[in-house]
Chain A
Amino acid sequence: MLYSPKPMHIPDGFLSLTISMICWVISAIILSIAISRSNKSLGERQVPLMGVMAAFIFATQMINFPVAGGTSGHLLGGALAAITLGPWAGMLVMTAVIVVQGLLFQDGGLLVMGANILNMGLITVAIGYGLYRGVSMGNRTLKLTVAGIAAWLSVMAGALLVSLQLWLSGTSQLQIVIPAMLTVHALIGLGEALITVAALTLIFQTRPDLIGENSASARGSRGWVVAGVLISLAVVLLSPLASTNPDGLNRVATDLGFISTAHARTGPLAGYVVPFLRSVSLSKIASGALGLTVVGVIIVLLGQGMKAKS
């Protein structure tokens, strides 16, 4: 078999509609910024380069190494993409990889793809690039060390986001999913860090011009450093908090209305509760409006169908 499923890809059905939609909106906003930045700064030459680099990330994930007992480690590649291609290009490349994995190989769902893009394509690049950019003027040893830490943290951040999304969707219990996901991914992250550092070492030795001080990837804004450090701090602080004091987080989520929507889905009339609209009457109006919209779309399609050639 040419393709084997990778960890951390959430399939359809495991996230609630609310969470899937929120993740899609966040990912779409970040991606639209990435696209407008890339359109401005990239010539037509860069697009084929990014396409081949996306294929590179995809193909790199096939390289595995035996760990123990028949299991094997391999790369996710977010931090490596960020460091070699720069932040915006790295995000677009990782997104393309996740889209192909979901669409072509069903590794990760379609409705939850926004969440998968956010977990594996955006936050990993933000951490990987932000931390690396902070030391991009330092010496090689420092850079490689930070790149390794960033690679490990990026995997942990992705795992933490997956856990939080599953919990907010009412699919898993916080006390179980966070320790389980973080323990497994602490090990996966070690592999990620080792591979990233070894790959960068080789590139430094053979083509230092590609990732040196004057390369495209070193010209990212200083704002990335702030973003990367802040996200890393959030991961480092939130993980122990979430596993030792889940009640606090549960209360926050209940106050924000997530948990109640998650649990309302179990009732017989659950479907009438539309996200953000707590009042039932408003929800019914919204459901009705959604239904009417679909009916309207159907009528337009029928009209188009009458006009179209058969």
Chain B
Amino acid sequence: MHFDAFDRYHETESFLHRLDPRAKVVVTFAFILSNALLPDGAWIAFGFSWLFLLFANALSSLGIGFTFKRSLVALPFALIAITILFSIPGKPLTSFHFLLWDFTITDSGLLRFVSVLIRSWFSVQMAILLVATARFPDIIHALEHLKVPAILTTIIAFLYRYLFVLADEVFRLMRARESRSAAAPGQRPGRSVAWRAGVAGHMAGQLFLRSYERSDRVYNAMLARGYAGHLETINPHELRRRDYLTVALALLVILFFQVVARL
């Protein structure tokens, strides 16, 4: 497996790709914060936020519907919010009978449910765009510049750097399990669920030992290459006029959404 097998970066040339990762991180957070601050049912502001999102997509030259296609990851969680359809008091819209209970959907329940989904959906799309236009190591550097404690960013950098090695290790363990789990046709391989969990546990323990021993070798190899306690980068980031102006403009637009929502 290649070291950037997990990265969601899309190699291409665009305005967003050239922007400093710090600028992208700040605007992404500001946009998500703004979504959380928009009141329920602020349809005009939601519409503007959506246009902002489409515009950002267009600036990335990945296609205007790029994030839309990848944005359904948060959907299963919507099940948890479904109860607010029935629980908030308001004018009943429709009611139906299911098994033992009567359900009544209220107008304010529906309003809140749709608003929660929209906020979540917009936020996840912006986060997708961030990792599609900035390499993950660059995002970690941006976090470091934005004063996230060095010990955390270093752990995250190592996690990312060695994840593909350990993922390979996991795939080897799983392949070994597969090849030992042959079964006659029509028969299920393996024994009880507890037994299978135990096997998975032994795999986890095995992975722990291999990782632990590998971390020693990693450390010695790094010392040999001149590691002095923190990671260096070969693409130094520099905030240029374009970055400052883009962040300023984006914040102004986001502030405008908030004002529109409250008029």
Q: Which residues of A contact B139 (CB under 8 A)?
A: 103
Whether, in the assembled complex, A141 has its beta carbon less than 8 Å from a beta carbon of chain B, the answer is no
Residues of chain A in range 36-84 having any CB-CB distance to chain B below 8 Å? 38-39, 44-45, 47-56, 58-60, 62-68, 73-75, 80, 84
Complexed CA–CA distance, A197 and B10 (Å): 41
A-B contact count (CB 8 A): 330
User: What mask results when residues 3 to 35 of chain B are scored 1 for a CB within 8 Å of chain A, else 0?
Assistant: 001111000000000000000000011001101
Residues of chain A in range 76-107 having any CB-CB distance to chain B below 8 Å? 80, 84, 92-93, 95-97, 99-100, 102-107
Size of the chain A interface, CB-CB below 8 angstroms: 104
In-complex Cβ contact of B6 among A2, A200, A310 (8 A): A2
Q: Which residues of B contact A17 (CB under 8 A)?
A: 33, 36-37
Residues of chain A in range 3-17 having any CB-CB distance to chain B below 8 Å? 3, 5, 10-14, 16-17
CB distance from B4 to the nearest CB of A (A): 11
Q: Which residues of B contact A225 (CB under 8 A)?
A: none
Q: Which residues of A contact B6 (CB under 8 A)?
A: 2-3, 104
Query: Which stretch of A132-140, A233-241, A295-303 is in the interface?
Result: A295-303
Q: Which residues of B contact A103 (CB under 8 A)?
A: 127, 130-131, 136, 139
Secondary structure of the A contact surface, majority rule = helix
Q: Which residues of B contact A203 (CB under 8 A)?
A: 205, 208-209
In-complex Cβ contact of B204 among A31, A93, A199 (8 A): A199
Say whether B251 contacts A110, CB under 8 Å.
no
Residues of chain B in range 182-213 having any CB-CB distance to chain A below 8 Å? 190, 193-194, 196-209, 211-212
Beyond A55-B159, A104-B6, whether A271 also contacts B209 by CB under 8 A is: no
Q: Which residues of A contact B55 (CB under 8 A)?
A: none
Q: Which residues of B contact A267 (CB under 8 A)?
A: 39
Complexed CA–CA distance, A184 and B7 (Å): 31
Across the A-B interface, give the 10 residue pairs with the lowest CB-CB distance, nearest first.
A51-B158, A198-B201, A13-B120, A305-B244, A202-B205, A13-B119, A12-B123, A194-B197, A199-B205, A52-B215
Instruction: Tell me the A residues contacting B by CB distance below 8 Å.
Output: 2-3, 5, 10-14, 16-17, 20, 31-32, 35, 38-39, 44-45, 47-56, 58-60, 62-68, 73-75, 80, 84, 92-93, 95-97, 99-100, 102-107, 109-111, 166, 170-173, 176-177, 180, 190-191, 194-203, 206-207, 210, 263, 265-272, 291, 294-295, 297-298, 301-302, 304-306, 308-310
